[in-house]
Amino acid sequence: MVFYSTIKPMLTKKSKIYIAGHTGLVGSAIVRKLKKDGYTNILLKTHKELDLLSSERVKRFFAKEKPDYVIIAAARVGGIKANMTYPADFLYENLQIQNNILWSSLRNNAKKVIFLGSSCAYPRDSNQPMKEEYLLVGKPEPTNEGYAIAKISGVKLCEKIYEQYGKIFISCMPTNIYGPGDTNDPLKSHVIPALVGRMHQAKINNNKEVIVWGSGKIKREFLYVDDLADAIVWMLKKYDKKEFLNIGTGVDVTIRELALLIQKVIGFRGQIVFDTSKLDGMPRKLLDVSKINSLGWKAKTDLEDGLKSFYNWFLENLK
Ligand SMILES: NC(=O)c1ccc[n+]([C@@H]2O[C@H](COP(=O)([O-])OP(=O)(O)OC[C@H]3O[C@@H](n4cnc5c(N)ncnc54)[C@H](OP(=O)(O)O)[C@@H]3O)[C@@H](O)[C@H]2O)c1
């Protein structure tokens, strides 16, 4: 028989904290932040050491390690092309990874679990900016339906565990993330590393122009990855409610504004040309972050400063 403790958790610098997916963009920033803040008992396993798709291996790992706190930043993540090519894999793998970790965390009496959802889980035709209560009022974007359904299931499983077992299993919905560790992998189609890579190359080659797909008019929100890590550690310490929280800046920019900022940061002197023959995505995708702001957390890094840090990291990693 399992005893489910409902005592309010007491996070200390020695608490055992497992970060699933610590080699990824977000997971690595969470580890940096925890180490910076003096947490000393951080539990990490690479994909090779622990395949989170295997229920048996995850069960054995949790039974042995019994982490007090768990942050789920492991997932199969990708851009539109990858999502459209492998929709079954995106649905199956994400359900499997999160179900394995959530259920083993419950069975082994983890004190608190934070699951990372994604703003992609919101309905395609959602009102903007997107408030937490807009989740499930409409259908997700069809091109990433599998991923979105998995994320919604993860958020809902946390809520149901909270209701049924009284355990602090909670979720957040981050917006688009960028920063050190972000890759130019075409399968992930992250706009910032893609534009930085191309504009940097154009500067080195003395090219006269860089082409950006689409009209440049659609608007997107971008959060610096260290700010997301800060928000997650803030949730670990301060937030115990069942309701999930949006995490973003609450501010969006057009792709044209973003491209001009990147041009300034890199010092590219050529022209930016928008290829309007390429399709634009949703005109706007912005999170309403008034809830987390009112609870005391706000993003700190302004977009230009974040782009400068990312570009420095990019140059370091070219060497
Ligand atoms: N990036 C964004 O813009 C963004 C926005 C909103 C929400 N999020 C959410 O944040 C979380 C992290 O995203 P990310 O951008 O950091 O993704 P990422 O860079 O692709 O990292 C994913 C991590 O999960 C690990 N992983 C994947 N499958 C695994 C498996 N079967 N077993 C063990 N480990 C596995 C990866 O290890 P390997 O690389 O070794 O496979 C990697 O460490 C995801 O839940 C994502 O939905 C991200």
What's the pLDDT score for residue 183? 83
| Sequence-distant (≥ 6) Cβ neighbours of residue 245 within 8 angstroms | 132, 171, 172, 173, 235, 239, 291, 292, 295
27-48 confidence digits (pLDDT tens): 999 999 999 999 999 999 999 9
71 CA distance to ligand 1 centroid (A)?
A: 12
Residues with CB under 6 A from ligand 1: 21, 23-27, 47, 51-53, 73-77, 97, 116, 118, 174, 176-177
With 60 as the cut, is the pLDDT of residue 175 above it?
A: yes
- Categorise residue 160: left if φ over 0, alpha if ψ from -120 to 50, beta otherwise: alpha
229-273 confidence digits (pLDDT tens): 999 999 999 999 999 999 999 999 999 999 999 999 999 999 999
Does pTM surpass 0.85? yes
d(CA 117, CA 130): 14
With 80 as the cut, is the pLDDT of residue 207 above it?
A: yes
Q: How confident is the model at residue 185 (pLDDT cuts 50, 70, 90)?
A: confident
72-89 confidence digits (pLDDT tens): 999 999 988 899 999 999
Neighbours of 311 (CB within 10 A): 18
Neighbours of 152 (CB within 10 A): 17
101-115 confidence digits (pLDDT tens): 999 999 999 999 999
> Contact, 288 vs 247, CB < 8 A?
no
Cα of first residue to Cα of last residue in the chain, in angstroms, is: 55
119-141 confidence digits (pLDDT tens): 999 999 999 999 999 999 999 99
Cα 93 from chain centroid (whole Å): 16
Q: How confident is the model at residue 319 (pLDDT cuts 50, 70, 90)?
A: low
Could you tell which of 25, 46, 50, 56 is best to mutate to test the pocket of ligand 1, judged by most ligand atoms within 8 Å of the CB? 25
